[in-house]
Amino acid sequence: MSVPGTPRHADPAHHPSSFPASGPARPVAIDSVTLGPFATNCYIVRVEGSKGCWIIDAGYEPRELIEQVRARSLTPRAVILTHAHCDHIAGLREVLAAYPKTPVWVHRAERDWLADPELNLSTFIGVPVTAPKPDHLLDGGETLELDGSRWRVLHTPGHSPGGITLVNDAAHTAIVGDTLFNRSIGRTDFPGCDAAALVRSIRTQLYNLPPRTRVLPGHGPETTIGEEMGGNPFVPAA
């Protein structure tokens, strides 16, 4: 995490990247795994030629996610949560059992949600979900590094107060959680949702990204910023 005044690799044991950035950038590779009854898209992010990875979200029934990490002989450097609704955290315990001590990152506004079935909405589904406390809190504005790839953290609230988007400018890729979907947007009828904030996050942050930017959402097929600006029925470009 690079924040002003903080040495970039002061705490390598808790840093989500495995090596300092060096040499020419290598391509980023992202595998999508769709998990559980809510068909949550979870992502395995890595850099070609490196064995570190990030796990973005851990949905219900995460075995396939763990198996893909294992099949590629990857070592998770971090689990980064786009937000802490239960369909994005229900598999966290199993992932952490498979890869103990992997640090978990979440936005500060949802720091208590992992341990609270009402906040993470699992109470309403009938089977309470809890997960260990996060190790690191995000505010938005940080840049995280994985094996030389750089990811900006945008705070994109609305669907939930601590929703984040991870943007890799070099790879023209944004992992957006449940903020923006292919021709749709995140629900705003849950406790903690803010419909006006969601529209603002999409208009002022996501639609500011280059149109060619790949959008990898928390549910459903991928899209691009340009396609959504032109065709999203809920949030047309202003």
Closest CB to Zn ion among residues 82, 168: 82
Please report the DSSP string for 112-166 in residue order.
TTTT-TTTTTHHHHTS----PPPSEEE-SS-EEEETTEEEEEEE--SSSTT-EEE
Nearer to Zn ion, 49 or 220 (CB): 220
Closest CB to Zn ion among residues 74, 153: 153
Q: In this complex, which beta carbon is closest to Zn ion, that of residue 134 or of residue 218?
A: 218
Reduce the DSSP state of residue 33 to 3 states and report it: strand
Q: Residues near 233 by Cβ (< 8 Å), separated by ≥ 6?
A: 183, 184
Task: Give the nearest distance from C-beta 86 to Zn ion in angstroms.
Answer: 9
Residues of this chain that bind Zn ion (CB under 5 A): 85, 87, 178, 218
Least distance CB 138 / Zn ion (angstroms): 16
Least distance to Zn ion, CB of residue 39, Å: 9
CA distance 36 to 129: 14
Nearest distance, CB of residue 182 and Zn ion, angstroms: 14
CB of 135 to Zn ion, least distance (A): 21
With respect to Zn ion, which residue has the nearer C-beta, 47 or 185? 185
Tell me whether residue 87 or residue 110 sits nearer to Zn ion (CB atom).
Answer: 87
Evaluate whether 5 touches 14 at the Cβ level (below 8 Å).
Answer: no
Find the residue with minimal CB distance to Zn ion: 85
Closest contact distance (angstroms) between CB of 132 and Zn ion is 20
Take residue 107 and report the two structure tokens written for it. Answer: 């936005």
Residue 161 one-letter amino acid: P
Q: What are phi and psi of 70, to 5 degrees?
A: -65, -45
Contact between 28 and 43 under an 8 Å Cβ cutoff? The reply is no
